[in-house]
Amino acid sequence: MIIGVGIDVAEIERFGAALERTPQLADRLFVGGELTLPSGERRGIASLAARFAAKEALAKALGAPGGLLWSDAEVWVEESGQPRLRVSGTVAARAAELGVRGWHVSLSHDAGVASAVVIAEG
């Protein structure tokens, strides 16, 4: 059963400018593994913007309650390249309240825009 669906978009240039203007913002929005590629290189701005959009979409799928922490949601990628969500803390608590047992996430970026869709399944 679908419990919630969220979608979000982020303008890549604007998101990059925000990270440049406020360097500590990346540490507030992302956990360590989200900032780097498997090779250890820093992830590109388009990829980070898509991950940010996924966190926004996740919040919407949970009904957009206040008090969720960005660091309590992590977008990670399987060896196959498929993105996944890992939740903890405030996000896991809200998901448990709603009966969420699984997540589906899709990320994209093109033409200066990053987007994400999240489905919460119960």
pLDDT 10s digits, 68-113: 999 999 999 998 989 999 999 999 999 999 999 999 999 999 999 9
Reply yes or no on whether the pLDDT at 22 is more than 90: yes
Neighbours of 5 (CB within 10 A): 13
Quickly list DSSP for 12-35: HHHHHHHHHH-TTHHHHH--HHHH
Residue ranges for the binding site? 8, 56
Looking at every residue in the chain, the average pLDDT score rounds to 95
User: Which pLDDT score is estimated for 39?
Assistant: 86
Residue ranges for the binding site for Mg(2+)? 8, 56
Neighbours of 1 (CB within 10 A): 7
What pTM was computed for the model? 0.94
Measure the CA–CA gap between 2 and 118, rounded to whole angstroms: 11
Q: What is the pLDDT of residues 34-69, one digit of tens each?
A: 999 888 899 999 999 999 999 999 999 999 888 999
Supply φ then ψ for residue 16, to 5 degrees: -60, -40
The DSSP element (H or E) to which 119 belongs, if any, is strand 113-121
Asked if 43 and 34 touch (Cβ cutoff 8 Å), the reply is: yes
Three-class secondary structure of residue 3 per DSSP: strand
Asked if 4 and 119 touch (Cβ cutoff 8 Å), the reply is: yes
